[in-house]
Amino acid sequence: MRAAVRLAAWAYAIAVYGFIFLPVVVLVLFSLQATSFPIPPFTGPSLRWYQSVLSDARLTSALVNSILVAVLSSLASVTLGFLSAWGFARFVLPGSALLRGLITLPLTVSYLIIGMGLLVLFNWAGVPKSLLAAGIGHVVINLPLCFAIIYSQMGDHQINIERAARDLGAAEWKVLLLITVPVMAPAIFAGFFLSMTFSWDEFVISFLLTRFETTLPVEIWNLLRSGLNPKTNAVGSLVFAVSIVLVVFFELTLLRRKPA
C-alpha cells in the first residue's frame, strides 16, 4: 500500500515536471535548429539563429533599453518605497492605514488597466509615447511591491539601533544612511531584485506607452508576427538564460545569508 502510494506520487511528480518543462525544452532545442522552421524534425545543432539575433540592431537596442528601464525604474521604486516605508514604520502619521493602503493599491489592478490609464492621461496631457513613459508605468507597478516588502521587514529591534544612534548625536540623515539602509539591506535588495525581474519581463505597459524605441518583450512580440521562427526561439532562450543567472545570483547572495 505504502509502496503503491510512493510509486503513484513519483509518477505524478514526473508527469507534472514533464508538463512544466515541455515548452522550455522545445524552445531551447529548436533555437538550435539549422533550418528555417522550429518544428520537428530537429536539424541542428546550429548557432546561426543566435548569430542572427546578436547581429539584429533592433533586438540589441531593445535589450539595452530593457536593461536601462529595468535598472532606473527599479532604483526609483526602491528609493520611494524605502523612504515611505521608513516614514510609516517610524512615525505616527494621521490616516496612516489609509495612506499605506493607497500606496499598495496598484498591486490589485492588472497591468493592462494601469497601462490604459496612463495612456489616456498622457494622451490628454500631450506627453509623447517613450521609454520614459513606460518607465513611469513600471515604477507604478513596482513601488507598492518595494514598499510592502521593506515595510513588512521594519521590525522593532531596528528602532532601538536607530535610537541608539540618535542618542549618540547622529543627525536624521546620518541615521538613515549609516544605520537604517545597511540594516534593511536584504529587504531593499529583495525589492530591487523583484522590481528588476518584473520590469524586465513587463510587456503590456511598454507596448501601450512606447513607440519607436521599445523594450525587449515588445520587440519579441513584434517578431511573433512572422509566425514560428527559430530566431524567436533563440532570443527567447537568451532571455531565459539571463533570468536563470539572475535567480541563481539572488539565491546565492541573498538567501545564503539567512541561517537555514
Partner 1 sequence: MAFTGNSRALPWALVTPALAWTLLFFVLPFIAMGFSSLTAHEGGGFTLANYSQFFTDPSYWRAMVNSLEVTAIVTVISILLAYPFAWILAEQVPERWQRLALMLAVLPFWTSYVVRSYSWLLVLAQNGVINRALTGIGLIGEPLQLANTRFATVTGFVHFFVMLLTLTIFANLKQLSPSYRKAAADLGAGPVRTFIHVVLPLTLPGIMVGAFLTFVLCIGDYITPQILGGNNELVMPQLVMMQIGRRGDFPLASALSIILMAVVTIAYLACARWLKIERA
16 binds partner 1 (CB under 8 A): yes
CA distance 62 to 220: 9
Ranges within 179-198 binding partner 1 (CB under 8 A): 197
155 binds partner 1 (CB under 8 A): no
CA distance 24 to 234: 12
Q: Draw the binding track, 87-126, toward partner 1 (x: CB under 8 A; -: no contact).
A: xx-xx-x-----x--xx-xx-xxxxxxx-xxxxxx-xx--
Task: Check the CA dihedral 105-111-117-123 and report its sign.
Answer: positive
DSSP state letters, 247-258: HHHHIIIIIHHS
Q: Min. distance of Cβ 24 from partner 1 in angstroms? A: 5
Ranges within 57-86 binding partner 1 (CB under 8 A): 80-81, 83-84, 86
44 binds partner 1 (CB under 8 A): no
Alpha-helical segments (H) within the chain? 2-31, 48-54, 57-90, 96-104, 111-125, 131-153, 156-167, 172-174, 181-183, 185-201, 204-209, 216-224, 230-250, 256-257
132 binds partner 1 (CB under 8 A): no
Q: Min. distance of Cβ 185 from partner 1 in angstroms? A: 18
252 binds partner 1 (CB under 8 A): no
Question: Which one of the spans 36-44, 52-60, 67-75, 182-190 is the region binding partner 1 (CB under 8 A)?
Answer: 36-44
User: Which of 16/47 has CB closer to partner 1?
Assistant: 16
